[in-house]
């Protein structure tokens, strides 16, 4: 050992990569990410929950420092937001899988069906999935992916979604045998479903009542075909949602009239009812419903918005 030199440092576990992408990590080829599980997720793509700025990788400042973006501790990544990105690269997808989030936001992205199926098959603990604004071609991957832990599904404002597409999503898999757990459909465990802006009809609602019986929150806002008969279906004595609904959003459903308002009294657990922008509903009728409640009175912080403190 040369005099004056200390004991040689052990090799670092994580070595810095040559800078090619501008963020300290090399660019990877754009291909299907079957073998990309070890690729890091760029700091540009994610935010740590509770932080107000993008994660940054300043690069190693000393021989003992490690790039902290390679931390895959699940406790640091309960939620991941990739919304409004035009394209999702293999490093992004593999980074999501490495971190195993409980909630994933892919809204208004260019995610493909193949990418979404690849993700869902590797995120068995996913509890919340946001796909609003994506194409149905991509979202149709839900029809063939296992979703055992899913509790919230957001499908708002997906284009070209009609009864036939929702039927494909709600019905049990075609190879399901009688008596199996999945016989009630793929969304049997979902508690919150957001379907705002879709062209669904009462036929889809009938399937919803049968194959998603545990819903406590349902968003049907701005669905053009939702009217008084839809409320009859949701609150009928045979409807399982009659006893489970806590939050119901019907804002912007212009076919609703004052005749449907007494039907909401059939839902004893209802705590939030949003009827804003329903043009045929009179403020006076909504005020009468708020005073009566189902049961107990509501408060109205805004016109046609009924809330009850739990």
Q: What average pLDDT does range 210-231 have in this prediction? A: 96
Q: What is the pLDDT of residue 176?
A: 52
Least confident span in 52-61, 117-126, 190-199, 201-210: 52-61
Q: What average pLDDT does range 117-125 have in this prediction? A: 95
Task: Categorize the per-residue pLDDT at 31 as very low, low, confident or very high, splitting at 50, 70 and 90.
Answer: very low
Task: Assess whether pLDDT exceeds 90 at residue 246.
Answer: yes
pLDDT top residue among 16 and 156: 156
Q: What is the pLDDT of residue 160?
A: 84
CB atoms within 10 A of CB 231: 24
Q: What is the pLDDT of residue 147?
A: 86
Give the chain's domains with CATH numbers: 77-173+183-307 (3.80.10.10)
Task: Assess whether pLDDT exceeds 70 at residue 94.
Answer: yes
Task: Assess whether pLDDT exceeds 90 at residue 66.
Answer: no
pLDDT digits (tens, 9 = 90+) for 148-184: 999 999 999 998 888 999 998 888 876 655 555 445 5
Report d(CA 252, CA 197) in Å as an integer: 9
Q: What is the pLDDT of residue 271?
A: 95
SS3 annotation, the chain = CCCCCCCCCCCCCCCCCCCCCCCCCCCCCCCCCCCCCCCCCCCCCCCCCCCCCCCCCCCCCCCCCCCHHHCCCHHHCCEEECCCCCCCCHHHHHHHHHHCCCEEECCCCCCCHHHHHHHHCCCCCCCEEECCCCEHHHHHHHHHCCCCCCCEEECCCCECCCHHHHHHHHCCCCCCCCCCHHHHCCCCCCCEEECCCCCCCHHHHHHHHHHCCCCCEEECCCCCCCEHHHHHHHHCCCCCHHHHCCEEECCCCCECCHHHHHHHHHCCCCCEEECCCCCCCCHHHHHHHHHHCCCCCCEEEECCEEECCC
Task: Assess whether pLDDT exceeds 80 at residue 298.
Answer: yes
Q: What is the pLDDT of residue 71?
A: 63
Q: What average pLDDT does range 255-284 have in this prediction? A: 96
* pTM summary value: 0.77
CB atoms within 10 A of CB 278: 22
Q: What is the pLDDT of residue 275?
A: 98
Q: What is the pLDDT of residue 180?
A: 54
Q: What average pLDDT does range 278-287 have in this prediction? A: 96
Tell whether omega for the bond before 295 is within 30 degrees of 0, i.e. cis: yes
Task: Assess whether pLDDT exceeds 70 at residue 299.
Answer: yes
Beta bridge partners of 130: 105, 154
Report d(CA 140, CA 102) in Å as an integer: 21
Q: What is the mean pLDDT of the chain?
A: 80
Least confident span in 138-147, 167-176, 261-270, 295-304: 167-176
Q: What percent of the chain is predicted at pLDDT more than 90?
A: 62
Task: Categorize the per-residue pLDDT at 63 as very low, low, confident or very high, splitting at 50, 70 and 90.
Answer: very low
Least confident span in 12-26, 65-79, 99-113, 202-216: 12-26
Report d(CA 220, CA 217) in Å as an integer: 10
């Amino acid at each position: 050992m040369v005099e004056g030199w200390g004991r040689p440092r052990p090799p670092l576990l994580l070595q810095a990569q040559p800078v090619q992408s501008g963020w300290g990590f090399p660019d990877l080829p754009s291909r299907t990410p079957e073998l990309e599980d070890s690729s890091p997720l760029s700091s540009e793509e994610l935010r740590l929950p509770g932080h107000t700025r993008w994660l940054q990788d300043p690069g190693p400042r000393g021989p003992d420092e490690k790039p902290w973006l390679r931390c895959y501790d699940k406790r640091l990544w309960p939620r991941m937001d990739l919304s409004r990105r035009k394209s999702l690269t293999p490093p992004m997808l593999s980074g999501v899988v490495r971190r195993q989030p409980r909630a994933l936001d892919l809204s208004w992205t260019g995610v493909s069906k193949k990418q979404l199926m690849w993700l869902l098959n590797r995120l068995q603990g996913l509890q919340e999935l946001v796909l609003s604004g994506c194409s149905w071609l991509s979202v149709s991957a839900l029809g063939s992916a296992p979703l055992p832990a899913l509790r919230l599904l957001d499908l708002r404002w997906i284009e070209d979604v009609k009864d036939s597409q929702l039927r494909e999503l709600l019905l049990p898999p075609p190879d399901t045998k009688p008596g199996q757990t999945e016989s009630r459909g793929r969304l049997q465990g979902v508690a919150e479903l957001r379907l705002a802006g879709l062209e669904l009809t009462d036929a889809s609602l009938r399937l919803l009542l049968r194959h998603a019986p545990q819903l406590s929150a349902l968003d049907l806002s701005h669905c053009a075909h939702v009217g008084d008969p839809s409320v009859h279906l949701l609150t009928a004595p045979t409807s399982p949602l009659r006893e489970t609904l806590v939050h119901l959003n019907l804002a912007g459903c212009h076919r609703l009239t004052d005749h449907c308002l007494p039907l909401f009294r059939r839902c004893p657990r209802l705590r939030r009812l949003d009827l804003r922008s329903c043009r045929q509903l009179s403020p006076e009728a909504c005020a009468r419903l708020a005073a009566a409640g189902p049961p107990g009175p509501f408060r109205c912080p805004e016109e046609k918005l009924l809330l009850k403190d739990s």
